[in-house]
Structure 1
């Protein structure tokens, strides 16, 4: 064998040995040096909007060692109870081994995971430790949390409806809301009197109010127009479009209908309006089945729930009742479009 051949063979062997060492090193850093566990300061809480900025729960976990110097990043993950964390809600904790959640933050997590407002619901939490693409993350076992969220009031652009029914006071008037911020407003108002006059104001003052246009078709508005009048007491659905200067006022009475209700899908069961709480309500024996809310004994205006999340949707999916029993049903349409809500509670 020539001297050159021997040198080439030695070089090849050295190259193979070096490659083998590099692969062994790669395999070594793929193996984390410790496990991970997460501990909450509490396992349950009833949340109140008045305490939104207060601390609700603190999650603590141990530091993870990956067997070599590494900048470990921790992520707190949440999913519905029994979920697979394929699409978790994530909160970045950077390199910290603790994370405090405020009442507001925890409430948002619960609502996003479809826990109904004012109802206790369970969610799962875990922590992920990672150092990048070269090493598999370390995942803690799941910790279960039971929380009762509150319904968040969302402030949308609004117009106000001062009138004879409330003393012509725009600063105290009920409002209609524009969910899409497109100058189209909706809301429900209760008029207890035989005849009610009112106006529409873009702010809580009389600077730029709208009233009826006597020269236009019915339902036409005009800046600084005359008083708008509705005849007959009742609970009215208002739609106001300031782009076209049009409005509608539709008197409504509400009921539930569906296989879960006493009348099935053939006969609706009326709800009763509570003028103090400004809600529609009834206590009924329900079956384990489905129902919807419906106005005026017709399908022109009906409410289901697409999520379901306790927030009704026009024409939405049937609302499921999980078990037979006696329930108090409440429908609240008093807070303007975008903040309607309902509850079905045993």
Structure 2
């Protein structure tokens, strides 16, 4: 029994000694790293015309040495031309989660960095860059740095995720809480159908007070400012393209239900606000043909562009031909899509019950719906 106890005591002493030795080793781990001494590329003052859609750039440097011979992690840091990296504009770990002596960065990211540095769209300017090394604990900052000269493209470096219309000239008024939200139609494009009255308005990249504001100057989309409206209230489709800084205004002077059998407008729908046109108790009468009753229709918008030129746009079905609408028709049956001015193609068909009845007809170009659509309710 004494021998077993003695053996157990010896094992405990050995284990404690090993633990103490292990803790001592952990405390003595070497985190010292030499700074990056040589930058390979891009060459100092290299000129780069940024292409945010497809361009990429590669930054490379000499490997930094760790005193213990272990793994070194890298971070590329960018600043203004006159900056000292004490408050850098941007940083990014190198390829393979910081393990490579190379960073592959997109021109889109460089465009954002250039914007942070105050370089304007279509302007040129310089960015300073360096590399910081570490063992994940102590960061060894720059010993060398270089400059690159970049030329920014047309457009905004950062595209708002959402866009709102606000101001005294708008349907929502000047309160941001009631600002009108645009429909996002692409990565950098937005659209809204709305009315504008005398007053001022601007676009906001959010519905909070700290959101970035945009307006129109000399026909182009710009940061800040506001737009003044004078004269009578008019309904517009406003399209904004942040990639090409283009704003397109189309006045919608009327929306008509175009009846194919008669080749004319059966009813003009009044604008009721929020991107919606509606007529109540509108009589619908199919046309009698030798083969039966014809009920085909679509919608025609009368427009005026920014130059004052009148035009016409047709909205109809995705299908060239359709069956009559009924209770089983899918929601997509009623979607409004741009179509040509053919008398018969891409028309909808009224439900059988609509013939010789009054109907409520709604055309919905609201930003709140996923797809522009319309409805016909038989009374």
TM interval, short-chain normalised: 0.3 to 0.5
TM (normalized to structure 2)? 0.43
TM (normalized to structure 1)? 0.46
Structure 1 or 2, whichever has the larger Rg, is 2
